[in-house]
Structure formats: structure tokens, C-alpha cells
Chains A and B, each alone.
Chain A
Amino acid sequence: MTEVATKAKRVTLGGLNAYYGDSHAVKGVDLEFAPNQVTAIIGPSGCGKSTLVRCVNRMHEELPGARATGSVRLDELDVYGPSIDVVSVRRTIGMVFQRPNPFPTMSIFDNVAAGLRLTGTRGVKLRERVERSLIGAGLWEEVKDRLDAPGISLSGGQQQRLCIARTLAVEPEVILMDEPASALDPIATLRIEELVEELKQRYTIVIVTHNMQQAARVADKTAFMLSGELVEIDSTERIFTTPSDSRTEEYVTGKFG
């Protein structure tokens, strides 16, 4: 199998609802994430944007009392289908978290290899895959001489790229990023944004952000959420210049949120 741009898949949300116990966090969202594009989800705190992406790789249901209804289709396949192995969903749809979370007991090399080892993947040339993933995450040049150093010895920005490399190593088709740069300084943020730009050549990318400038810089399309509902999705340019909904305009011009 050759790895070309066609590997990325289209993600389609249909009537997606998410709950934490009795609280209804995502309310009937229909949304599409196109392959080889970056889709940003913006909205004020608590609007359900993180919950929404956590439903895509079925991480939401890991929390006690949390559940989701509706469909999330990966091309044609519904990841909420009855015969789907939830673990395989997460291998196919990778996720990068808000705070860098490398495994503290593992070296840089082992952190990247962790995904393969934790999923019991066999028959992979580990060294090769780790190198390719680190190159993909733009970290190889900085760490190639100290792969045995602990992952947590890296700076915050490097740790986040290490986490991206870890995600790339299991060869996902979609990458979800939940405010991946919100814990980083501006320089490290810029590196992550450049990386997102490169990664979209091969993956479908969804990035949750509360930073509107970031959405404007990296995203092809931007979705605006409010109180668990999708207000609108459009090309990033239109969302930030001529949105069709007045609430979007108020938000992007800084009237609230």
C-alpha cells in the first residue's frame, strides 16, 4: 500500500448528540470534515467543541456517565456501528491533546513506539517507523542524537510535537487536535501551526481552538459552535469576513466569548 494523499478519509457527523449524565453538551450536529483539509472548530468555552471531537474517535464515552448518539461516518463506515471495535476506531482516528502528555517513564524513542507497542502491532520495522514519525512531526533533527533521553526532558513545544509523532506512528487517517497549542508559547505555537499545514497533505485534520487568529491562519474551513449547537460552517475566509449568521459575526468580532 502506498501512502499518498488519498489515504485521508472524509468524516461525516450525522445528528450527533453527546451527553454528560443529564447535561446535553452537543445538540444534533451535522458536520463534514473534508480529506486533506484543516477544519477548525471555534466557539466560546463550554460550547461543546472539545466534546464534539472527542465523539469522533469515541473517546467521549470513556468518561463516566458520558454517552453519544447519532452517527460518525469515516467515508462510508459508521464508527458507532454495532460491529465496530472501538479500539480500532482510535487507531484510525488519532488525537492530540491540549497539554502535551508524553509517557513519563519512556524515552523519546519509546514514546513514539508506544502506540505500536500498546496496540500490539507486529511486523513493523520499529526504528524506521519511529524515524519517519519524528520527521513527520518536525522533531527528528532536534532529537535524533538523544532518542534514549526521557520524553519529558524536552521543552513543552517539543513534547507536543513528540505527542504528534506518537499519533502519526500508528498511521491514522484522521487527526483530531484539541487545542494543541493552548499550553505553548508563541514560537512553539507557530511550529505546531506549520506542522498542521504540512500534515494536511496526508490526513484529514480537525483542530479545536479558542484562538481565532489560529483558526484564521491554519484552517481551510471553520465551524462555529455555540451552546452545543453548530451555528455554521464555511470557508475560513467567509466565517471571518462575511458570516451568514449574526451570532458568528458577533463572536469573531469579539462582541462576546
Chain B
Amino acid sequence: MSELIHLSAVRRRRDMLMRGLLAAATALAVLPLALILYLLLKKGLGAWGASFFTTDPNGNFLGDPGGIKSAILGTLEIVGLATVIAVPLGIAVALYLVEIGRQGRFAGAVRYFVDVMTGVPSVVFGLFVYITLVLTGVGGGFAGWKGSVALGLLMLPIVTRSAEVVLLLVPDSLREAAIALGAPRWRVALRVVLPTALPGLVTGSLLAIARGAGETAPLLFTAAIVQGTSFNLGQRMNSLPAQIFNDVGQAQDRLVARAWGAALTLVLMILVLTLTARLAARRSRLA
């Protein structure tokens, strides 16, 4: 009935052609990425030096323009506070959607708006905070914490979406086991569902943080751009994206070089964060 047939020359050629096309498409997609990294390393490493990370931008028209200390610390502070706002809230919303709201109408509406929020351009969050918190002068004008609010709003839907997916992955058999033991639903959520989903929640949150750390627009309207290092989130605060934005528009090569150095720093910070997220995810799979 069945006979073995030699692969025809036509089919072999067609196979080769398609493989070639796909490989070419992949190369085309990866090329810009490689170019960006190459340029970042080439231009950014040149700006790096001992004082690059330990001094603030000084605004001197001549001589050493200073480093990016205030920008690094500012980014850490602003993103740190944004994380404290967005991660617990985002996970709480996801917990509501998965454990309580489920397929209900309200949960559906929340899910829809979370999706919409994911697609809102970051500049809109900046404008929103600018209008509601900066222009109204709540606690002064521009401030680091207002930048955190803008970033937090931006990160919230990302955290919620990723957390919801992870919480849905927790097998129902575990919830059932806990409920059959006589556990109330809230204890099941806190003591069984959350710990089981923890590695995935960490990964999702870290990715949201990485996304927030790279945003420029929300910070320009809210935390502003300054030179000095500040540890007071109630004051104007520098940040890496804002510093890059500022420097790259200057007419002096040494400032543009500083922008490249800052860009490389930002990319490396986010890379470390992403790698940590990947490692955390992998370890959980092995456990």
C-alpha cells in the first residue's frame, strides 16, 4: 500500500528556498538590534570613566561636564517608589480578577480597562500627572514622587496582566485541596495561591520595572530635569532617561557623549534586571 518515495528535486529546491527566506528575514530583524548594541558600546564605553558614576552634571560650559550620579540615583529612587505603588496594587487587582471576580461583569470591565491602559502611550500618563498633581501644586511643583506616580500608573496594567496569567496557572486542584480543608477563600489566596505563583509574579514585576525604568516622557512633566543628587522625593529629581534626553539635544560633543554613556548604563541596568527575572523563573521551574 505505502511506498517510500524519493524526495523530488523540486520539493528539495523549494525547501531550500523557503529556509533561506526565513533565515534572511530573521537576520533582517536582528540586524538593527545588533547595530544599536554595537553603537551603544562603542560610543557609551568611551564616555565611561571613574568620575562618570561619582559626580553630578555641573552645567559648566567649559571643561569637565560632570557624570551621571544624580541620574542613576534618581532613576533608582523614582522607579523604586513606582514599584512600591504598582506591584502590590497590580497583584491585588490580579488576585481579585482570578479569585473573586472571575467571569463576572465587573471583572470583565476591569480586564478591559487594564487592556486599554496597557496601550496608552506613556506620555499620556505624564500629562495626566502633570495636570492633576503638578499644575495643581500638590506639595509644590515638580517632584520625584510625582514621577513615581506616573511610572506607577504605567506599570500597573503590565503587572496586573502578567500576574493574572500567572495566577491562572496555579492548578485548581490546589485551591480545591485548601477549600476542602475548611480554609476561607482569602486564606487560600494568600497562603496557597500567592506562594505557588510567587516566581512568576516576581518575573512579571521585574519586567514591568524594566519597562518603567526606561520611560522618559512621564518623567519630563513630573520629576523634571535637574543637576544635583537628591534623596528627597518631594523635590525635583534627575533620572537617566531625562538626562539622556537633555544631553543629546546639546550642541557640545562632550554632552552628547555623556548621553551615550548614560544610555549604556540604563541598558545595562535593565539587562541585569531582566536576567534576574529569567533566573528567578528558571529556578522555579526546576524546583
Contact = CB atoms under 8 A, between A and B. Distances in A.
B41 interface: no
Contacts, number: 73
B103 interface: yes
A5 interface: no
Given A118-B187, A118-B191, A118-B192, A163 B177 contact: yes
A94 interface: yes
A197 to B, nearest CB: 23
A138 B99 CA distance: 35
Interface in A70-91: 87-91
Interface in B149-191: 171, 173-174, 176-184, 187-188, 191
A103 B174 contact: yes
Contact of A166 (B181, B184, B192): B181
A94 B180 CA distance: 7
Nearest to A89: B182
Interface of B: 102-103, 171, 173-174, 176-184, 187-188, 191-192, 195-196, 198, 287
Q: Is the interface of B mostly helix, strand, loop or mixed?
A: helix
A170 B173 contact: no
B182 A64 contact: no
B176 A170 contact: no
B179 A101 contact: no
A24 interface: no
A91 B184 CA distance: 11
A104 B171 CA distance: 10
A97 B198 contact: no
A207 to B, nearest CB: 15
A115 interface: yes
Interface of A: 57, 59, 62, 64, 87-92, 94-95, 97, 99, 101-105, 114-115, 117-120, 150, 163, 166-167, 170
Nearest to A115: B181
B191 A117 contact: yes
Given A118-B192, A119-B187, 11 more contacts: A59-B179, A95-B180, A101-B171, A102-B177, A103-B196, A114-B191, A115-B181, A117-B191, A118-B188, A119-B182, A167-B181
A87 B179 CA distance: 8
A97 B191 contact: no
Contact of B173 (A57, A90, A101, A117): A101
A101 B195 CA distance: 15
